[in-house]
């Protein structure tokens, strides 16, 4: 039998407009955005969704689109030429045209600009081939220059990083990670030496010479990068931040193209994000320019991290959203045997299949409720219109959102692969790429353990004030809510969190507590947003209030285990458990 004569599977088709097909995002924006802003934002999202459907997703597809390093030319000269595909370059052009960075700096929708930007990024994740990685670093670099750059940097570089004109658009990298410390930048080895012939007073914009080695750089094809380098003694206090040109010795547009002493040692061979040119870099005698004050590098680059972590979280939920859309679209065309009735039915009509996808659907809904309101806090912060309490919540919850979303996304994508059976396991299906690419969100910009420690530092340094702000906000939401069993359960969860965070503020707690606290804050913060959504929907004609409450109730059921673990660890009497766990994992120490 020829394959053409055998049974033909019906190919699933994704919705023509991915924005209109995402109910949770639609409803959230209807609640959060003022009507005049919503009309502008939704018109842009629908137009972009049509562009996505019309073929953007086929750009940079396949291994032939992966970046390639040519270190030497045919004369034996070191050239370090990084070759990227036409598809990858086109994706970067589309990012510029669509304002993937620019929206946040044009601020045409005021404090809602970040909501607009990240909603658009969410829609594009499934088709962008992770071009959002260099865009996120470009976004962070633009914000750093806006805050700390010299007038010359602001006038010459900032417009290039935020423009929609593809003939002038620049992208930026972020060079932090080095071999000694990984996420611990305090062990940075790269050294910056102030160039001679400058004034006696050190000031932002001064020229320095950089020498060092960067272990990971994920925007190697950019025009400039922000780099940490040591200008003082050991530790984080000896680090400063620099603007490092990558295609010339000067950052000024129109400068003569030349190698700036940045050499590509080798390309990283990664599990996923293969279209992204990630490399190890040797920096030798590179010209770089001081950004901000000397010795304030870690504080200044934290601005980048807050933005890139938000991008990472939205990439995670975007991966879940696209995987779920594929799984449900397939369930709408694939027929299987219902063993209870003996009839062939669509997968979507098979209760066991629907139940299998339920956790992914709930996670997707909850992550959007965690992230979209947080993006509003970021937009307000950048306009200077946020309150001290909102600033505090933004600082506390950004690492929570990134880790919580990143740790759960890849598992949900794997479930969607299983939902397609053998078809889902095929490389031709986008699910395999989504799974590989989503794995990076567990690591990039901080692993779960690193970010859990960051959350505890925020609580400790503020002497619990950050949590006081958070709890005041949380209790106010519950106090203004319609009575519901979910509200009572959330009240109890907040008591558990409060007890644990007071232990953290005192500096005496079980070392296993930080990850449990981060998970509890992720579940609870998403739940609080869902309470607001359910109340609004119940009072708004045409909205699905009953469904919103039901999703909240089911989500809280998933949160129970994390809260029980936090409650157990908050007691702080686990030394014996720690010793046993070490033996289980690592074995007994050999004498």
CA-closest candidate to residue 322, choices 430, 421, 206: 430
Residue carrying structure tokens 């219902």: 338
**How far apart (Å, rounded) are the C-alpha atoms in residues 90 and 69?**
19
| Residues pairing with 283 in the sheet | 212, 262
pLDDT of residue 196 exceeding 90: yes
**What per-residue confidence (pLDDT) applies to 265?**
92
Q: Which CATH class is domain 173-299?
A: mainly beta
Q: Does residue 504 contact residue 456 with C-beta atoms inside 8 Å?
A: yes
pLDDT of residue 442 exceeding 90: yes
Band of pLDDT at residue 591, cut at 50, 70 and 90: very low
Q: Does residue 175 contact residue 189 with C-beta atoms inside 8 Å?
A: no
**What per-residue confidence (pLDDT) applies to 573?**
67
Average pLDDT estimate for 429-457: 95
Model pLDDT for residues 418-432, shown as the tens digit of each residue: 999 999 999 989 999
**How far apart (Å, rounded) are the C-alpha atoms in residues 110 and 106?**
9
pLDDT of residue 317 exceeding 90: yes
CA-closest candidate to residue 226, choices 203, 242, 204: 242
pLDDT of residue 184 exceeding 90: no
Q: Which CATH class is domain 461-586?
A: mainly alpha
The reply to whether domains 173-299 and 305-442 share a CATH topology is no
Residue carrying structure tokens 């120490």: 589
CA-closest candidate to residue 20, choices 51, 46, 57, 53: 46
- Ranges assigned E (strand) in 84-164: none
pLDDT of residue 462 exceeding 90: yes
Model pLDDT for residues 200-229, shown as the tens digit of each residue: 999 999 999 999 999 989 889 999 999 999
| Residues pairing with 282 in the sheet | 213, 263
Token pair for 169: 């658009």
Average pLDDT estimate for 566-576: 84
Average pLDDT, the chain: 94
**How far apart (Å, rounded) are the C-alpha atoms in residues 499 and 517?**
11
**What per-residue confidence (pLDDT) applies to 403?**
98
pLDDT of residue 388 exceeding 70: yes
Rounded percentage of the chain residues whose pLDDT exceeds 90: 87
Token pair for 367: 């992550």
CA-closest candidate to residue 475, choices 456, 497, 501: 497
Helix and strand tally (H, E) in the chain?
18, 11
Rounded percentage of the chain residues whose pLDDT exceeds 70: 99
Residue 291: HSE in the Cβ half-sphere, 13 Å Cα cutoff:
33
Least confidently predicted of 63-67, 115-119, 572-576: 572-576
DSSP letters, 485-522, are HHHHHHHHHHHHHHHHHHHHHHT---TTHHHHHHHHHH
Give the DSSP letter of residue 279.
Answer: E
**How far apart (Å, rounded) are the C-alpha atoms in residues 206 and 557?**
56
**What per-residue confidence (pLDDT) applies to 576?**
85
**Third-level CATH fold of 305-442:** Butyryl-CoA Dehydrogenase, subunit A; domain 3 (1.20.140)
51: left (phi over 0), alpha (psi -120 to 50) or beta: alpha
Q: Does residue 274 contact residue 63 with C-beta atoms inside 8 Å?
A: yes
The CA dihedral of 496, 499, 500, 506, to the nearest 10 degrees, is 170
Average pLDDT estimate for 474-491: 96
**What per-residue confidence (pLDDT) applies to 214?**
94
Give the gyration radius of the chain's Cα atoms: 25
Model pLDDT for residues 243-271, shown as the tens digit of each residue: 999 999 999 888 898 889 999 999 999 99
A 10 A CB-CB count for 160 gives 19
The H or E element that residue 312 is part of is helix 297-331
Is 75 in a helix, a strand, or coil? coil
Give the predicted TM-score (pTM) of the model.
0.96
Q: Which one has a higher pLDDT value, 340 or 361?
A: 361
**How far apart (Å, rounded) are the C-alpha atoms in residues 550 and 536?**
14
Least confidently predicted of 31-40, 497-506, 571-580: 571-580
Model pLDDT for residues 513-569, shown as the tens digit of each residue: 999 999 999 999 999 999 999 999 999 999 999 999 999 999 999 898 899 999 999
**How far apart (Å, rounded) are the C-alpha atoms in residues 241 and 192?**
10
Where do the domains of the chain lie? 23-162, 173-299, 305-442, 461-586
pLDDT of residue 175 exceeding 60: yes
**How far apart (Å, rounded) are the C-alpha atoms in residues 317 and 131?**
16
The H or E element that residue 346 is part of is strand 343-346
């Amino acid at each position: 039998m020829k394959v053409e004569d055998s049974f033909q599977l019906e190919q699933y088709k994704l919705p023509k407009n991915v924005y209109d097909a995402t109910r949770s995002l639609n409803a959230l924006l209807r609640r959060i955005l003022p009507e005049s802003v919503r009309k502008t934002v939704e018109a842009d999202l629908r137009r972009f969704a049509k562009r996505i459907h019309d073929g953007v997703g086929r750009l940079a597809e396949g291994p032939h689109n992966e970046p390639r390093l040519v270190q030497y030319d045919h004369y034996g000269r070191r050239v370090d030429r990084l070759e990227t595909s036409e598809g990858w370059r086109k994706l970067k052009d589309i990012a510029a045209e669509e304002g993937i960075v620019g929206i946040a700096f044009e601020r045409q929708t005021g404090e809602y600009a970040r909501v607009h930007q990240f909603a658009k990024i969410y829609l594009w994740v499934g088709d962008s081939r992770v071009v959002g990685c260099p865009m996120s670093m470009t976004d962070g670099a633009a914000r750093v220059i806006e805050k700390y750059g010299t007038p010359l940097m602001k006038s010459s570089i900032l417009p290039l990083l935020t423009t929609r004109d593809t003939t002038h658009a620049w992208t930026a990298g972020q060079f932090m990670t080095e071999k000694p410390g990984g996420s611990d930048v305090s062990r940075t080895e790269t050294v910056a030496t102030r160039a001679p012939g400058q004034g006696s007073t050190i000031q932002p914009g001064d020229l320095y010479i950089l020498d060092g080695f960067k272990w990971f750089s994920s925007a190697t094809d950019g025009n400039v990068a922000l780099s940490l380098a040591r200008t003082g003694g050991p530790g984080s206090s000896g680090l400063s931040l620099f603007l490092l040109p990558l295609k010339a010795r000067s950052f000024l547009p129109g400068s003569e193209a030349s190698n700036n002493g940045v050499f590509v040692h080798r390309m990283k061979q990664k599990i996923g994000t293969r279209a992204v040119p990630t490399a190890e870099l040797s920096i030798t005698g590179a010209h770089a320019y001081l950004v901000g004050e000397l010795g304030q590098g870690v504080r200044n680059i934290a601005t980048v991290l807050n933005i890139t972590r938000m991008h990472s979280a939205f990439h995670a939920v975007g991966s879940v959203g696209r995987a779920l859309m594929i799984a449900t679209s397939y369930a709408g065309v694939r027929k299987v045997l219902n063993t209870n009735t003996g009839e062939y039915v669509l997968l979507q009509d098979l209760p066991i299949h629907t139940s299998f996808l339920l956790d992914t659907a709930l996670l997707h809904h909850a992550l959007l409720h965690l992230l979209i309101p947080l993006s509003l806090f970021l937009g307000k912060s950048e306009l200077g219109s946020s309150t001290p309490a909102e600033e505090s919540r933004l600082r506390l919850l950004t690492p929570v959102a990134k880790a919580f979303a990143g740790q759960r996304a890849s598992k949900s994508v794997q479930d969607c692969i299983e939902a397609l059976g053998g078809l889902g396991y095929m490389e031709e299906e986008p699910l395999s790429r989504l799974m590989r690419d989503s794995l990076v969100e567990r690591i990039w910009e901080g692993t779960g353990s690193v970010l859990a420690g960051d959350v505890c530092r925020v609580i400790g340094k503020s002497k619990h004030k950050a949590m006081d702000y958070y709890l005041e906000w949380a209790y106010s939401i519950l106090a203004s809510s319609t009575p519901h069993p979910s509200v009572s359960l959330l009240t109890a969860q907040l008591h558990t969190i409060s007890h644990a965070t007071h232990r953290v503020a005192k500096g005496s707690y079980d070392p296993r507590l930080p990850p449990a606290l981060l998970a509890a804050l992720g579940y609870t913060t998403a739940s609080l947003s869902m309470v607001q959504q359910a109340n609004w929907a119940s009072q708004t004609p045409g909205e699905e209030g009953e469904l919103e409450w039901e999703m909240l109730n089911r989500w809280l059921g998933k949160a129970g285990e994390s809260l029980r673990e936090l409650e157990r660890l908050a007691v702080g009497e686990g030394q014996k458990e720690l010793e046993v766990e070490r033996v289980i994992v690592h074995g007994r120490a050999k004498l």
